[in-house]
A and B are shown apart, each in its own frame.
Chain A
Amino acid sequence: MSSTNLPAASMTNREALSRALAVVVEESFFAMVDPVPGVVPAVEGSIVSACVTFEGSFSGSLTCCLPRALAHDLTATFIGEEVPIDRAAVNDLAGEFANMVCGRWLTDIAPQSLFTLDHSVVASTNAPSRAPSGLINGQPIWVDLNVG
Chain B
Amino acid sequence: MKPLKILIVDDSATMRQFVRRAVQLSDVPIATVFEAANGKEALALFETNEIDAVFTDINMPVMSGPELLRELQRQGRRTPAVVVSTDGSPARRREMEGLAQWYVNKPVRPEVVRDVLNELASSIHD
Q: Which residues of A approach B to under 8 Å, CB–CB?
A: 23-24, 27-28, 75, 78-80, 83, 88-89, 92-93, 95-96, 99-100, 102-104, 106-107, 110-119
Q: Is the CB of B89 within 8 A of A99?
A: no
Binding site for A on B (CB under 8 A): 11-15, 17-18, 21, 59-61, 85-92, 95, 105-109
Q: Which 7 A-B pairs have the closest CB atoms?
A: A103-B86, A28-B107, A27-B107, A79-B17, A96-B12, A93-B14, A107-B88
A104 to chain B, nearest CB (A): 6
- Within 8 Å CB of A104, what residues of B? 86, 88, 106-107
Question: By DSSP majority rule, is chain A's interface helix, strand, loop, or mixed?
Answer: helix
Known: A107-B87, A114-B91. 11 other contacts (CB 8 A): A79-B14, A80-B21, A88-B13, A93-B14, A96-B12, A96-B14, A99-B12, A103-B106, A104-B107, A107-B86, A119-B61
> How far, in angstroms, from A117 to B90 measured CA to CA in the complex?
17
- 6 pairs from A and B in contact (CB 8 Å cutoff): A28-B109, A78-B14, A112-B90, A112-B91, A117-B86, A119-B61
| Cβ A113 vs Cβ B89 within 8 A | yes
In the complex, the chain B residue whose C-beta lies closest to that of A25 is B107
